[in-house]
Chain A
Amino acid sequence: AQSVTQLGSHVSVSEGALVLLRCNYSSSVPPYLFWYVQYPNQGLQLLLKYTSAATLVKGINGFEAEFKKSETSFHLTKPSAHMSDAAEYFCAVSLVSGGSNYKLTFGKGTLLTVNP
């Protein structure tokens, strides 16, 4: 079974500051890991994904995440926050078995607030 823990349900940063959203996972097999963003009253949009290739993954809108197996972590970062980054962010782990993707297990989410 797999699970995801997002540390901090709410993170507040100033515009231009570093964004760091934390995610730790638990998985019995090598995981696929994802970060999704959800803007108010919208569905989820994929930011980036780790699929056992490069451990540093670059995504859209200047976000990146680093897979650290020893720490079972997949933290999301962005060097400089923009007002438009304000949203809810979800980390997710995927179970892939026999070449088929079955489901994503999501964390509870982190609400990012960006202050002017």
Chain B
Amino acid sequence: DAGVTQSPTHLIKTRGQQVTLRCSPKSGHDTVSWYQQALGQGPQFIFQYYEEEERQRGNFPDRFSGHQFPNYSSELNVNALLLGDSALYLCASSSPRVDGNNTGELFFGEGSRLTVL
């Protein structure tokens, strides 16, 4: 059973460039969330996708956008990169409904580490 997979694992960009990060959810999950983890900080919620739509968004500018595909995989796009966008970007998958079998737990990938120079 494959877990959450993310690509690429590491990448370096320069200010002003654009980046796309990719995520495949755990088998059986159809909800994907993205988190940004700056160095020495806890993960911060960017947004969540379900049924190919953005369901909820955290406090991030419009430079951050996403997409979910019919196979539930997802992309995170960041435009006009700033030095402050350097971080570990974590993808997490879950089931959309919380019930006796699913308690809202997220399963995380190992992340994509973005360095902006």
| Number of chain B residues close to chain A: CB under 8 A | 30
Render B32-45 as a binary contact track against A, CB cut-off 8 A, 1 for contact.
01010000111111
A44 touches B94 (CB 8 A): no
B15 proximal to A (CB < 8 A)? no
Q: Which of B92-112 contact A (CB under 8 A)?
A: 92, 94, 96-99, 103-111
Q: Is B48 an interface residue (CB 8 A)?
A: yes
Q: A51, B42: Cβ atoms under 8 Å?
A: no
User: Top 9 nearest A-B pairs by Cβ distance?
Assistant: A106-B42, A101-B104, A43-B108, A51-B103, A43-B110, A44-B108, A103-B45, A108-B42, A94-B104
Size band of the A side of the interface? Answer: 20 to 34
Q: Assess A103 versus B41: contact at CB under 8 Å? Given A34-B105, A49-B105, A96-B98.
A: no
With A45-B108, A100-B97, A102-B55 known, 12 other A-B pairs at CB within 8 A are A43-B111, A46-B105, A49-B103, A51-B103, A51-B104, A92-B42, A101-B96, A101-B106, A104-B45, A104-B106, A105-B45, A107-B42
Using A90-B43, A101-B96, A102-B55 as known contacts, say yes or no to A96 and B105 having CB atoms under 8 A apart.
no
Say whether A116 faces chain B, with CB atoms less than 8 Å apart: no
Number of A-B contacts (CB under 8 A): 68
CA of A78 to CA of B55, assembled, Å: 37
Residues in B with CB closer than 8 Å to A44 are 43, 90, 92, 108
The smallest beta-carbon distance between A26 and chain B, in angstroms, is 15
The secondary-structure label for the interface of chain A is strand
Distance in angstroms between the alpha carbons of A108 and B97 in the assembled complex: 27
Complex Cα gap A9–B109 (Å): 24
B98 to A100, Cβ gap below 8 A?
yes
**Binary flags per residue of A7-42, CB closer than 8 Å to B gives 1, else 0:** 000000000000000000000000010101000011
In the complex, chain B residues whose CB is within 8 Å of the CB of A99: 97-99
Which residues from chain B contact A103 at a C-beta distance below 8 Å? 33, 45, 48, 56, 58
Within 8 Å CB of A49, what residues of B? 103, 105
